[in-house]
Amino acid sequence: MTMHGLMMDCPLMISDILVHASKCHGDQEIVTRLPESGQTHRQNYRTTHERTKQLANALIEDLGIEQGDVVSTIAWNSHRHIELYYGISGIGAVVHTVNPRLDPKQLIWMLAHAEAKAVFFDIQFAPLIDGIAQHCPNVKHWILMAEDAHLGAVQTECRSYETLIGGKSSDFTWPVFDERTALGLCYTSGTTGDPKGVLYSHRSSILHALACSASDVIGVGASGVLLPVVPMFHVNAWGIPYAALMNGAKLVMPGPQLDGENLHAMIEEEEVSYVAGVPTVWLGLLNYLEQNNKRIDSIKRVLIGGSALPEALLRAYEDKYGVTMQQGWGMTEMSPLGTVNAALPKHGDLDREEEIKIKLKQGRLVFGVGMRIVDDEGKELPWDGESSGHVQVRGPWIASGYFKGAGAESFTEDGWFMTGDVAYLDSDGFMTITDRSKDVIKSGGEWISSIDLENEAMGHPDVEMAAAVGMPHPKWQERPLLVVQAKAGAPKDAESIRAFLADKVAKWWIPDGIEFIDAMPIGATGKMLKTKLREIYKDYEFPAVDA
């Protein structure tokens, strides 16, 4: 007979994080660059809790939101968005964070599929709302996240956030319900077919936040100042809105101002110690720093995710600015935490070049994430640092299926999620991604890693960004086409790039075609859009050169 422990069975409620932050870190600040004015707004966690309780009363009394209803946000990172995160899910409803840069038709589809009852939006998206509102009959309420004075910017009938919550009481008791109740909804990009919804629970989100709190993961405590550049509409801003309040860190919310100059100003003004975002953001900041002879001495660590950390970017920040670059990996389906790169004690004596090789790995598995690498037949491969295969994962904050039953083919019969990444694991649990399954370039029966080729190309002094895509070739099945965005004022010299790559990759990896583009297509989450590049170059023909 099983003997059970004599422990209390207390449901894990996301509202408990907010209550804890208010009681134990009440004076800690959320600093926001207001989307509607660009001015700096400050409020502490205690005030945030009071306003969120006002919001909860407004959701129930004025908007008629009930447990299980979906409420959408189309918004930047701000104190109001934090209030919505906790207020919507705290009453048992579901906060659906919407990527505002999707095609309007896709947004309309998404709001209908989610059955959103209300939409909260920032002023920058007023034209978008005016364009889609008439096509969203299920949305009963549109709320501009500002004061009444800004309502003139919107043609659609709506009300302002501040008036909605302003007259409400802050007397509210957060309900307790099943911890597996849905908390948040985030859709995948939908680059092939319709987007698929990932439905997070209170339990999964709190466990994920606890994992983020580990010192080798994000680990920002009450003395930390955290600036999440990763948008709150992208996988819950990597769990930062939960982990930061759980641990009492100061939050600096940049609103829509994500250029190098504004990010630098906020970092300096608030003495930010930890930042998180995708590589393209840090490329922009790096250019600003170099062009204006600026520094960011308060920053201790930068968490890079969304796509691989280029070696040139790592060296620039660490060698010139003394900032530790930390790479992580995950997916929307994983909440998104999977691996984070943190050195082991045995790495302390490595020379700089060997240390960089470790840092360029996607990182070590975080406790709570199970992973296996399998070959094309589904046979599990060893963790030997060499055997590359398809990555599959499972764990308490990893999706078991998609919203409304879509995408069942993404899960194995024994319950693992097939990520679509190709990688290998070493004996210390470090994962190295070699490519996305759909991005691997197969030339003459051999694989070429687009990620490795891109990262090497970005080490060229004239290259701002680079993307490698496999294009049809009459002899070799596929060959790599390297698309390059040159740095401002730099020459566009394909032969110089080929010569630069000659001693860095295998000879047969050297791209047959190198094309220059004025601006790399970038998605809303900062990733290069290879689907767009394939569309642009769909009729591309390689020069008549035998590879």
Exposed/middle/buried for residue 348 (C-beta within 10 Å: 0-12, 13-18, 19+)? exposed
CA 315 – CA 32 distance, rounded (Å): 31
Q: How far apart are CA 355 and CA 306, in angstroms?
A: 22
Burial classification of residue 110, based on how many CB atoms lie within 10 Å of its CB (0-12 exposed, 13-18 middle, 19 or more buried) = buried
Residue 364, token pair as written in the block? 């070590």
Q: How many angstroms separate the CA atoms of 117 and 518, rounded?
A: 41
Q: How far is CA 66 from CA 87, 94, 131, 523, in A?
A: 12, 10, 28, 34
For 406-441, the three-class secondary structure string (H helix, E strand, C coil) is CCHHHECCCCCEEEEEEEEECCCCEEEEEEECCCCE
Identify the H or E element spanning 16. helix 14-24
User: Would you say 260 and 285 are in contact if contact means Cβ atoms under 8 Å apart?
Assistant: yes
Q: How far is CA 494 from CA 44, 487, 514, 519, 530, in A?
A: 53, 14, 6, 17, 20
Distance, CA of 120 to CA of 96 (rounded, Å): 10
CB atoms within 10 A of CB 142: 20
- Edge-first strand listing for the sheet containing 182-187: 159-160, 141-144, 116-121, 70-74, 94-97, 182-187, 197-201
**Distances in whole angstroms, Cα of residue 520 to Cα of each of 65, 259, 488:** 42, 16, 13
Q: Taking a C-beta distance cutoff of 8 angstroms, is the pair 65, 58 a contact? A: no
- 446-474 as b/e, with b when 16 or more CB fall inside 10 Å? eebbbbbbbbbbbbbeebbbbbbbbbebe
Q: Tokens standing for 114? A: 């989610």
Characterize 418-442 residue by residue with b for buried, 16 or more Cβ atoms within 10 angstroms of its Cβ, and e for exposed.
Answer: bbebbbbbeeebbbbbbbeeebbbe
Residue 280 corresponds to which tokens in the numbers above?
Answer: 């393209």
Burial of 115 (0-12, 13-18, 19+ CB in 10 A): middle
State how far the Cα of 157 lies from the Cα of 211, in Å rounded to an integer.
Answer: 42
Token pair 């989307």: residue: 35
- Residue bearing tokens 């007023």: 126
Residues tagged active-site: 188, 333, 442, 447
- C-alpha 120/C-alpha 76 separation (Å) is 11
510 closest CA partner among 472, 456, 460, 474? 456
Enumerate the β-bridge partners of residue 31: 42, 252
